């Protein structure tokens, strides 16, 4: 079963269980997927759904940070719940050791030796790490390795 089908089945289960919070979050996900399908006139595959979910995770993390600064624990709690639901559909996150190993491998493959060649390394890593790592943190790690 595809990721999109799994999300749809979970939405039906949430409807049957009358779980409004879960249903609302899953509807946010399906709405984002449907928007892309309509705008681009395509059928989403698992890779594209993962990209959408990754973007939603990043948005939730940014919102949590802002709501925490604004002293809004009620909104932080809501965003954390949504973050948990969205992450359930993403592949398992890579460990720091796995990320560093992939970075080293990509640097060897691309022959990158300076910050100017960072784009080559990121280009190799992005497809392998989509939805499995925070690309902002990966970018910082690459900069550190290339600047030494």
pLDDT one-digit tens code per residue, 67-86: 999 999 999 999 999 999 99
pLDDT confidence bin for 4, thresholds 50/70/90: very high
Using left for φ > 0, alpha for ψ between -120 and 50, and beta otherwise, residue 111 falls in: left
Q: What is the pLDDT of residues 83-111, one digit of tens each?
A: 999 999 998 888 999 999 999 999 999 98
Whether residue 124 sits in one domain with residue 77: no
Range of the domain at 121: 96-147
What 3-state DSSP class applies to 2?
A: coil
83 with 136, same domain?
no
Residues 83 and 101 in one domain: no
Boundary-marking domain end, from 62, 87, 112: 87
Q: 95: alpha, beta or left, given left = phi > 0 and alpha = psi -120 to 50? A: beta
Task: Looking at the structure, tell me whether residues 27 and 68 fall in a common domain.
Answer: yes
User: What does the DSSP 8-state code read for residue 43?
Assistant: -
CB 16 within 8 A of CB 45: no
- E-strand stretches of 46-141: none
**How many whole angstroms separate alpha carbon 38 and alpha carbon 67?**
32
pTM above 0.95, yes or no: no
Q: Phi and psi of 54, rounded to 5°?
A: -60, -40
Q: What pLDDT is attached to residue 64?
A: 97
Tell me, yes or no, whether 33 and 102 share the same domain: no
Tell me which of 87, 113, 137 is where a domain ends: 87
């Amino acid at each position: 079963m595809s990721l999109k089908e799994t999300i749809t089945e979970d939405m039906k289960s949430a409807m049957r269980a009358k779980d409004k919070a879960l249903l609302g979050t899953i509807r946010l996900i399906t709405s984002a997927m449907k928007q892309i399908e309509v705008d681009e006139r395509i059928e989403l595959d698992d890779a594209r759904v993962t990209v959408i979910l990754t973007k939603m995770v990043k948005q939730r993390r940014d919102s949590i940070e802002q709501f925490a600064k604004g002293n809004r624990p009620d909104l932080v709690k809501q965003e954390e719940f949504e973050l948990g639901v969205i992450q359930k559909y993403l592949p398992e996150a890579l460990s720091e050791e796995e990320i560093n190993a992939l970075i080293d491998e990509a640097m060897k493959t691309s022959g990158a030796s300076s910050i100017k060649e960072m784009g080559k390394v990121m280009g190799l890593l992005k497809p392998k790490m989509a939805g499995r790592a925070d690309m902002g943190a990966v970018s910082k790690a690459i900069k550190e390795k290339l600047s030494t």
